[in-house]
Structure 1
Amino acid sequence: MDKRYQVFISSTFEDLQEERKEVMQALLELDCIPAGMELFPASNDDQWTLIKRVIDDSDYYLLILAGRYGSTNDEGMGYTEMEYRYAVEKNKPIISFLHKNPGAIQSSKSEQSLDGKEKLKLFRELAQKKMNKFWTNPDDLGSVVSRSMIRLTKDYPATGWVRADEIVDENSMKEILLLQKENSELKEKLQSLNTTAPVGTDKLSQGEDEIDISYVYHYINTQDKEYIGEDAYMFTWNEIFRIIAPYLIDECDESTLSKVLKNYLKDKYYDAIVLIKQQEKIKKISNSYIKPENFQVIKVQLKALGLIQKSLKNRSVKDTFNYWKLTPYGDYVMTQLVAIKNKK
């Protein structure tokens, strides 16, 4: 929804007309709505009621202070200071822009009376107790206002104004709030699913439970005769998943997964395989692999545990491989098993 902020510009008028134009231009370029004395005189009791109403309706209050204190009411307080104090009373976000060197301002735009100078001095000190910036000329003021208003609206977000046709009615707002609640609940449920095992998997073999995997090898013995050997080796489900899971972060074909398991088995049981070679007088192993039946069981079990799922990505007709990838829960379990823990 496109929101615009109304900004009340408070200052003396005659001596700061050029500066006010620069400030209004800066505010308009920020899609703000300037409001100030150009719309009404500032020395009429009836108009003071109007001024207070405009300040009430404004989102931010901006004070420009230079060399004049300005016209006063019957009690001797300047109307600009009255506006400032009223904005403070109403807790409006306020920022003051004070001339950096009041002594350098030409005399025609400066207070002439000692009383006026003293009141301006006290008012300036009052304004410096809240957020304030300094400026030297109209162009500089416009730039400072632009930068400051961007920061002010971020630090102190206000209600703002929107087009009437963009306002959401009460029923629509209730529906939006209900949908937001449902969306939040669904996100929590999804997050829980990502870190929780699927229902029913507690009855399945998993974790540190063990499984035998058969290593099949075709070999030639010292008499140059060809044989097929098969030996079973013990693994846990966590061990198997820890080895193949990183390959499934994106996706991986079944042939590669089988080779990864075979190579891990050969490394883990290297000494046992060397001993078999010696006992069987094996001269050369021509081919070796994980027994296909075992690999199918591993694949089905990991799928049943909710750790992997088949990839449905479209591929070329020539690509006939089956591809697998991690489920969100599988990704979570992999992180727990593979990621390096802090030693502290």
Structure 2
Amino acid sequence: MEKKYQVFVSSTYIDLLDERKEVTQALLELDCIPIGMELFPASDEDQWSFIKSVIDDCDYYLLILAGRYGSCSESGLSYTEMEYRYAIDTGKPVIAFLHQEPELIPAKFSESDKEMQEKLASFRSLAQKKLCKFWKTPTELSAVVGRSIVQLKKRSPAIGWVKADLVPDEGASQEILKLKNEIEKLKAELSKQSNTGVDPSDLAQGEEIFSFPYTAKAKHGWNDYVEVQLRTEISWNSLFASLAPSMANESDERNLQSKLNQTISKLEEKVISKQKNFSGYESYAVVESDILETIIVQFRALGLIQKSTKNRSVKDKHTYWSLTEKGDSLLVGLRAIKKI
């Protein structure tokens, strides 16, 4: 089924008219639908809510950054940066295109205010932490965007859009969803019956200690952080007691990641607060996603959790986890208050 992909194009406007024209043409040639909010100034909360809803509906987010930082909200951030941060926070596939030689951009298209220059530099630094490409001319930008979008669609497949006459009717959609759920149930049953080849007695569990690294962060300003790499130690029972309540019904991995960060932040609170340049500042712990993946695999191998088989929208691509009967029993044993 032929699909078109909606791409949110975010940038300042007047200084990048030629660049936006080239990018729009490149996207159209790739069967993409370019969407830009530069004609709808985000002057109030309602308008910002609308912009967020548009980003939510897009398949990909594209940032063009040159010599201007853009108009700022009351928070001090430009709306372009707010859009970028929102796309990152919501897990939208993003790619940034940064001018390779910003010092050569004409003065009329560059920030003259020192504070705005510093904000722009900080924004560039933030964008370079994710997937980004560089360009010098509008024509070069068009070519780079074309190649990059093709790669991005392969690396991060999106839902896309199709013509209404190609979409199954409501009855067909319900039947597809029903069959999908049946397949998931059968997979779950097969998983229960299959032998993983792992003897649970050979696995770390209970009060045995799991040691792993994490990043401690202290926020010094609106976009100024101090970081230090540390390690923590926690028992498997403590980890399960902390994460399992979220899966008593079901929980996706984003929620579990947040819960894991909160758990380690609380566990390591005293250690983090004693770090250099951390005193008096908001601080917290961030655990890499691969650590959560290891924890999930361990809980699965121990027979404590399983993929949820609840019905949900066919557009929902997140992975959800729920407790097995064994996991629920362990949770009750760990968290129930015993009489003195």
Aligned residues: 181
Determine if contact 1:11/1:63 at 8 Å carries over to the other structure. Answer: yes
Partner of 1:102: 102
The corresponding residue for 1:55 is 55
For the 8 Å contact 1:43–1:79, the answer to whether it is kept is no
Tell me how far apart the structure 2 counterparts of residues 178 and 91 of structure 1 sit (CA, whole Å). 28
1:216-231 pair list within 5 angstroms: none
Q: Which residue of the partner structure matches residue 130 of structure 2?
A: 130
Question: 2:47 is matched by which residue type in structure 1?
Answer: Q
2:82 matched residue in structure 1: 82
- Write the letter of the residue equivalent to 2:86: Y
Task: Give the 5 Å matches for 1:69-218.
Answer: 69-173=69-173, 174=175
What TM-score do you get using the length of structure 1 for normalisation?
0.50
- Per-residue deviation at 1:103? 0.5
- Output one character per residue of 1:230-288: Cα deviation in whole Å (capped at 9) or x when no partner: xxxxxxxxxxxxxxxxxxxxxxxxxxxxxxxxxxxxxxxxxxxxxxxxxxxxxxxxxxx
Change (3 A) 1:151 1:107: same
Question: What is the rounded CA distance, in whole Å, between the counterparts of 1:6 and 1:31 in structure 2?
Answer: 9
Q: CA deviation at 1:76?
A: 1.2
Cα distance in structure 2, aligned partners of 1:117 and 1:141: 23
Summarize the Cα distance change of 1:127–1:170 in structure 2 as closer, same or farther, 3 Å threshold.
Answer: same
The letter of the residue matching 1:18 is D
Preserved CA contact (<8 Å) 1:60 1:94:
yes
Identical aligned pairs, as a percentage? 59
Helix, strand or coil for the counterpart of 2:86? helix
Structure 1 unpaired stretches of 5+: 183-344
Partner of 1:7: 7
Relative distance call for 1:170 and 1:131 in structure 2 (3 A) is same
Task: Name the stretch that deviates more: 31-40 or 147-156.
Answer: 31-40
| Contact 2:26–2:145, Cα closer than 8 Å, also in 1 | yes
CA contact (8 A) 2:11 2:80 kept: yes
AA in 2 matched with 1:98: L
Structure 2: gaps of 5 or more residues: 184-340
Please show how residues 315-326 of structure 1 align to structure 2 within 5 Å.
none
Per the TM alignment, residue 170 of structure 1 is displaced from its structure 2 partner at its CA by 4.8
Distance 2:50 2:78 in 1: 17
Q: What code does the residue aligned with 1:168 have?
A: P
Once the 2 structures are TM-superposed, how far is the Cα of residue 83 of structure 1 from its aligned partner? Answer: 0.4
Would you identify which runs of 4 or more consecutive aligned residues in structure 1 move more than 6 Å?
175-179
Report the aligned-residue RMSD: 2.1
Q: Is the 8 A contact 2:12 2:38 kept in 1?
A: no
1:135 is displaced (CA, Å) by 0.5
For each residue in 1:173-196, what CA deviation from the matched residue of structure 2 results, as whole angstroms up to 9, or x when unmatched?
5379969x99xxxxxxxxxxxxxx
In 2, distance between residues paired with 1:175 and 1:86?
33
CA distance in 2, matches of 1:176, 1:111: 52
Q: Which amino acid aligns with 1:115?
A: E
Normalised TM-score (structure 2): 0.51
| More off after superposition, 100-109 vs 167-176 | 167-176
Report the 3-state secondary structure (helix = DSSP H, G, I; strand = E; otherwise coil) of the residue aligned with 1:37.
coil
- The verdict on how the C-alpha distance between 1:164 and 1:116 changes in structure 2, with shifts beyond 3 A counting, is same
1:4 and 1:42 map into 2 onto residues whose CA distance is: 27
Q: Which residue of 2 aligns with 1:28?
A: 28
Q: Which residue of 2 aligns with 1:236?
A: none
Q: Is the 8 A contact 2:6 2:32 kept in 1?
A: yes
The match for 2:306 is: none
